[in-house]
Amino acid sequence: MFVQTKKENRAALIAYLPAGFPSSQGCKAAISVLAKAGVDAVEIGYPYSDPVMDGPTIQKAADISLKAGTGAAEVFSTLKFAHEVGLPAVVMTYWNPIERYGIDRFANQMANNGGSGVITPDLTIEESDQWKSATTSAGINRIYVVAPSTTDARLSLVTAECSGFVYAASLMGVTGARTDLSSSGRDLVVRIRKTTDLPVAVGLGVSTRAQARTVAGYADGVIVGSAFIKVLLDAQNEESGLEALAVLAKELVAGVREGR
């Protein structure tokens, strides 16, 4: 995907949705809507009861998903669905569900269901030996998260362990739509590019066409989660939520493509 978007001289739009939200079938319907709107890839969240990176919007969606019984089977089913509709797909999960499921088993299930890689926001490179072995064996990407607070020395160590792309958290704090974007995202991308040739995708805060355009001007990928989730949460029913999702997705797709 990143090879193709580079040829087209544009960034990619990556949408985040928790598996099982707004419902099991509703999540798959939302992925179809995103694909038709022109979103380039999807990041499927593994709903977790004790998130450290997620803000209130994603926490609320994850709570709805967990109460409906979403677990590993539903995550992999959603992953397979995204793959089948033609979207490159990754899973974002905290480490505990991987360890509980079985490290090698999780990596293999990712590969078996068409997954490209896994974003692990709370896994450090120093604790990744088993994960590195499992992902290498399964042939999937390891995607670590770096932040504005990451020192230059550590940045080179972390990006050296990434594959697929580097996830750049554009600001300090948790996920959530922002009215203004900090310059720290651009500065972080500049620093990352000095350490690796991998694509850099920026997440945290993007919710509007103008913001997507700005981030697409300096990053290889723009990750949007809370804004998509909010329109589904605010809708009176799933049908109207999907309609609102389509409108927002088309706006953000346009913004990303205007970035360069």
Among 40, 43, 74, 220, which one carries the catalytic annotation? Answer: 43
Of residues 180, 16, 192, the one with CA closest to residue 91 = 16
Provide the Cα torsion 214, 216, 218, 223; round to 10°. 100
Among 40, 54, 74, 220, which one carries the catalytic annotation? Answer: 54
Tokens describing residue 137: 């064996």
| Known catalytic membership, residue 43 | yes
Residue type, 166: V
Using only C-alpha atoms, what is the Rg of the chain? 17
| Known catalytic membership, residue 54 | yes
DSSP code per residue over 34-70: HHHHT--EEEEE---SS-SS--HHHHHHHHHHHHTT-
Catalytic residue list: 43, 54
